Amino acid sequence: MDLCATDDVENHKFLRNLGPEPLGNEFDEAYLQAALKTRNTPIKSALLDQKIIAGLGNIYVCEALWRAHIAPTRKSNSLSAKRVGALVPVIRDVLGDAIAAGGSSLKDFRQTDGELGYFQHSFAAYGRAGEACRTPDCKGKISRIVQSGRSTFFCNRCQR
């Protein structure tokens, strides 16, 4: 915890290098397209990079890429601007759904009133290795790989 003047918040050493909040107004299609078009890293790693988007966790990146049918291994700069732009509302929807469900309790997460979160029961990709993909008409199964030391869950049939 640190204390600083409101006017100095944007320049605070812990905050000045963070990208925009995914639910904030600065995070929009034009921003994400510009941020990703020069990145040669897998889209999964780029979305976990706090300098690009602040506070988007591993679970939510997996779920957003599954919903957007984007393979986590795709190089960021190989995706069309249209597909990158389409990720913005998908990311917001995933977070909105997670908030509505009270978050995700995998280990010890609790809401402030002590209640568990329930979004983990709605995961379509995360933690479902070997299970059937939930995309309508997709006959694929969810696979698990490790990227940058983190588990990635995805369908290698409908995520391209």
Number of residues that bind Zn ion (CB under 5 A): 7
Structure tokens at 43: 């889209």
- Asked if residues 95 and 22 have their Cβ atoms less than 8 Å apart, the reply is yes
- In the bound state with Zn ion, the residue whose beta carbon lies nearer, of 26 and 93, is 93
Lay out the site mask for Zn ion across 141-160 (x = CB under 5 A, - = otherwise).
Answer: --------------x-xx--
Taking the complex as a whole, how short is the minimal distance between the CB of residue 137 and Zn ion, in angstroms?
A: 9
d(CA 73, CA 85): 18
d(CA 22, CA 123): 19
Lay out the site mask for Zn ion across 121-140 (x = CB under 5 A, - = otherwise).
Answer: ------------x-x--x-x
If one counts every other C-beta atom within 10 angstroms of the C-beta of residue 112, the result is 5
Taking the complex as a whole, how short is the minimal distance between the CB of residue 53 and Zn ion, in angstroms?
A: 24
- Asked if residues 158 and 147 have their Cβ atoms less than 8 Å apart, the reply is no
- In the bound state with Zn ion, the residue whose beta carbon lies nearer, of 52 and 155, is 155
Taking the complex as a whole, how short is the minimal distance between the CB of residue 128 and Zn ion, in angstroms?
A: 11
d(CA 142, CA 158): 10
- In the bound state with Zn ion, the residue whose beta carbon lies nearer, of 144 and 157, is 157
Interface ranges with Zn ion (CB under 5 A): 133, 135, 138, 140, 155, 157-158
